[in-house]
Amino acid sequence: MIKKKDVILSAVCICLGAGIGYGTKSMLMEEKEQESAASEVQKQEVSEKDDSEEKTKLVDAEQKEAPERYTEPAVRYIKVMKSGSSTDIYYERLDKVKDILSDSMYETLSPEMSKEEIQAEKEQAEKADKDSITKTKITDTRYSYRWKKEGSYEVSVIYTQRITRGDFSDQERYLCRMEVTKKDKRYIITNIYEDSALSDGLY
């Protein structure tokens, strides 16, 4: 006959065993969760590090590019837009540099003129007296540049513009500051900060 105290002792042992088993399982689950969380954090840190290294490589590559790649659009814009004749049609001149302007920059530089107004301007240009025609020519350009941010440079161009009209001739120096931004594999002008005459003695 099984004694009462033996039954009680067996029950206590079973309860303790169950408690220990549950506690061990709970600890294992917590350890797995912690390991999983630590692994995710490590993956995220590695990913962020890779992104940072890739961005650094891109910036380094841009800064090692030949300066002509991002200064050429700025110089070309000056030479095309600031040289010519007073009988030239502005729209036609602007279209010659459309490929190096962003869409928003092209819209900003485009005057609001109807087709009739453009046609009237052409007719007036054809009737212009030869002695009243003003001609401009860029005789000198110097530029400097600085890296602004990823894919973007500020290019400053100092240029000399010669003006002739009949027997009159003069020249003046100007400063034009632009933002040139990389688009696909080329650079385009996305902003013009300043285009003004220089006082004597400056630059």
Residues 17-72 pLDDT 10s: 544 454 555 555 666 666 666 666 565 655 555 555 554 444 455 556 788 898 99
Residues 150-186 pLDDT 10s: 889 999 999 999 999 988 999 999 999 999 999 988 9
User: How far apart, in whole angstroms, are the C-alpha atoms of residue 203 and residue 28?
Assistant: 74
Pick the range with the lowest mean pLDDT from 44-53, 94-103, 112-121, 165-174: 44-53
The answer to whether residue 103 scores a pLDDT higher than 60 is yes
The answer to whether residue 145 scores a pLDDT higher than 90 is yes
User: How far apart, in whole angstroms, are the C-alpha atoms of residue 34 and residue 27?
Assistant: 10
The average pLDDT across 93-103 equals 97
The answer to whether residue 102 scores a pLDDT higher than 70 is yes
Which token pair is 186?
A: 């080329």
Q: Enter the pTM of the model.
A: 0.67
User: How far apart, in whole angstroms, are the C-alpha atoms of residue 75 and residue 7?
Assistant: 100
User: How far apart, in whole angstroms, are the C-alpha atoms of residue 82 and residue 166?
Assistant: 19
Per-chain mean pLDDT for the chain: 80
Residue 9, pLDDT score:
46
User: How far apart, in whole angstroms, are the C-alpha atoms of residue 20 and residue 77?
Assistant: 81
| Confidence bin at 149 (pLDDT 50/70/90) | confident
The average pLDDT across 85-94 equals 92
Residue 16, pLDDT score:
45
Residue 152, pLDDT score:
93
